[in-house]
Amino acid sequence: MVEEENLRKRIKRAQEGDKRVVKAVEKLKKAGVKTLRDEEWEIEDRVVLKERRIYIPEKELRGEVIWLHHDTPVGGYGGR
């Protein structure tokens, strides 16, 4: 899916510019691990996760992701 691939690239770019993510990734690399248990950060498939969820730092991008998935049957809202 082209749309998902584009979104994934945008999330990675946003993560690279976020100070919290950069700091967590530096700690992960320094420790030589993929998970920091005390802070719940991890890297999976080159995407940074916070508490086992994709961390999306940008407010605009975060809003777009919510909008894209909010009214889907999986999202569960359905407009009610």
- pLDDT tens by residue, the chain, 80 residues: 557 778 888 888 888 888 888 888 888 888 887 777 766 888 888 888 888 888 888 777 888 888 777 765 554 555 54
How far is Cα 27 from Cα 79, in angstroms, rounded to an integer? 42
Alpha-helical segments (H) within 1-80: 2-16, 19-31, 59-70
Whether 42 is in a domain gets the answer yes
Residue 79 belongs to a domain: no
Structural domain harbouring 46:
2-70
Strand partners, 44: 47
Domain for residue 78, yes or no? no
Is residue 34 assigned to a domain?
Answer: yes
pLDDT for 45? 83
Residue 33 covered by a domain: yes
Asked, for residue 31, whether it belongs to a domain, the answer is: yes
* Residue 77 maps to a domain: no
Q: How far apart (Å, rounded) are the C-alpha atoms in residues 34 and 32?
A: 7
Residue 6 token pair: 């584009």
* pLDDT given for residue 35 in this prediction: 74
Residue 66's pLDDT is: 80
